[in-house]
Amino acid sequence: MEMKKRVSLELRHRSPTEVQELFLDNCRSSEGKIEGITDEFSNLELLSLINVGLTSVADLPKLDKLKKLELSDNRISGGLEVLAERLVNLTHLNLSGNKFKDISTLEPLKKLPQLKSLDLFNCEVTNLADYRESIFKLLPQLTYLDGYDIDDCEASDSDGDVVEDEDEEEGESEDFEEEEEEDEEDVVAEEDNDDDSDSADEDGEVNGDVDSEDDEDEDEDDEEDGESGSSHREVKSKHEESNTFGSFLWTEKERGLMGGKPPPSWSPRSDVIALGLQLRFP
C-alpha cells in the first residue's frame, strides 16, 4: 500500500491535529521519500516508518512535539541534518538496519539536546573499533546506545521515564484495587452483622410468640381443668344427694314394686336415714 493512502486510512476520519501516534510500517514509499505527512500533524509524538523503503528523510515536516521516531529497516545512509532542524524535542531515534557506515554521518545528532536513546543495530558503523566509546563521546546527551548505557547496563525500556510513569500508575492501580477490596470486605462484614442482628430479632420475636402461646395454652388448660374439676365435684355431689334421697324413695314407695328387693344403691344407712325422716315428718 502506498504511504499516502496508508496515512489517510490511519487518520480514521480524524483531523491531523488530533493524532498523537502514527504507525505506517511496511507500506511503500514513492522513490524512497516520505509522503502524506505534513506539519498539520502538530501534536504527533510518535511516528513509526519501519520497513517502508526510505532512502532519505529530507521530506520530513517540522514536528515540534515528536519524541519518538522509528526508521529501522530502511536504506538511509545520511542526511540526518533534517532531524536536528525539524525535530527539536526528539528523545528516541531508531536507525537500526540502515546504511550508516561512518560515525561522521551521525554528527548532526549532536544538535538534538533531548536525545536519550539511539539504536544502530545491524548498521555497518557498529563494526568499527571503539564504536560505543566513540558514539558516547560524540553524543554526550545519550543515556542508551543500542539498549545499553555507557556502563553496559541494559535499559529496562527504550524510555526510562515512561517505565517510571508506568510503574507509578501500576502502583496507584494496585493501591486502588486494594482499597476497593478492603471496602468490599467492610461492606460484606456490615451486611453479615445486619443479617445476624435481624435473625436474632426474628428469633426473639418467634420465641416470644411461642412462649406467649404456650402460656395461653397453659392458662386455657388450667381453666379447663378447673371447670372439669368443678363439674366433676358437682356431679359427684348430685350423685351423692341422689343416692341418699333416692334411697328414701325406693325404701318407702317403690320397694313393693321391686318385689321386696332393695334398689342397687340401697344400704342399711339409707333405711336408717329414711326411717328418721319418717318419724320426724309422719
C-alpha span between 150 and 136 (Å, rounded):
7
Distance CA 237, CA 66 (A): 121
User: Model confidence over 124-180: pLDDT tens digits?
Assistant: 999 999 999 999 999 999 999 999 999 999 987 545 444 344 444 445 445 545 555
Instruction: Write the pLDDT tens digit of every residue in 171-181.
Output: 544 554 555 56
Strand partners of residue 92: 68, 117
Q: Could you report the per-residue pLDDT of 233-273, keeping only the tens digit for each?
A: 543 444 444 444 344 444 444 444 445 555 555 555 555 45
Q: Phi and psi for 204 in degrees, rounded to 5?
A: -65, -45
What is the per-residue burial (b if ≥16 Cβ within 10 Å, else e) of 60-70? bbebeebbbbb
Cell representation of residue 24: 505506517
Looking at every residue in the chain, the average pLDDT score rounds to 75
* DSSP state string for 43-98: T--EEE-TTS--S--TTPPP-TT--EEE--SS---S-THHHHHH-TT--EEE-TTS
Q: What's the rounded Cα separation, in Å, for the pair 276 and 118? A: 147
Highest mean pLDDT: which range of 71-75, 182-186, 218-222: 71-75
Q: What are 227's three cell numbers? A: 371447670
For residue 131, count other CB atoms closer than 10 A to its CB: 16
What are the domain boundaries of the chain?
A: 3-156, 240-282
User: Cβ(27)–Cβ(4) under 8 Å?
Assistant: no
Class in CATH terms, 3-156: alpha beta
